[in-house]
Structure 1
Amino acid sequence: MQFHIENMTCGGCARGVTRAIQGVDPDASVTTDPPTRSVKVETTASESEIVSALNGAGFPPVRE
């Protein structure tokens, strides 16, 4: 699944996004790209779990 996260603008934000996702699924593969504000996630967790974790961390995602 892939998301656009408008407020992921730097490496620190990208680490926060990765931590939030891996808090749900420690084995998730997370690829972040702050310049385009996109994140690609390969996980066994549901999309709703990932969205909830990102919202809770202050990084509201939009599905791409």
Structure 2
Amino acid sequence: MEEPRKDLLMQVDGMTCQGCADAVAKAIRRLDPGAKVDVDLDHGRVHVVTHAQSIDVARVLDAAGYEAHGMTG
């Protein structure tokens, strides 16, 4: 059975340009090709609707060179 979708808001440190934002979105979509990814470059945040766990999203972003932390609210 497939995991239910999760609504994640993450702070992502190290995003400084549109290329970074694109790399973050690409890394998340490699983990979950069906994920909905909205990158807020100005505030360094990423909103993700995904089947993946937040720890897995943080790990792929870390591997891509960014530090991600889950946020509440």
> Is the TM-score greater than 0.5?
yes
In structure 1, how many angstroms separate the alpha carbons of the residues matched to 2:55 and 2:13? 18
Identity in percent: 33
Structure 1 runs (4+) deviating above 6 angstroms are: none
**Largest Rg, 1 or 2:** 2
Query: What value does the CA root-mean-square deviation take over the aligned residues?
Result: 0.8
Residues 1:12 and 2:19 aligned together = yes
Alignment equivalent of 1:39, drawn from 33, 46, 50: 46
Q: In the comparison of the two structures, how many residue pairs are matched? A: 64
Give the structure with the larger strand fraction.
2
After TM superposition, the score normalised by the length of structure 1 is 0.93
Q: Is the helix fraction higher in 1 or 2?
A: 1
Match for residue 56 of structure 2 among 44, 49, 64: 49
In the alignment, structure 2 segments of 5+ residues that lack a partner are 1-7
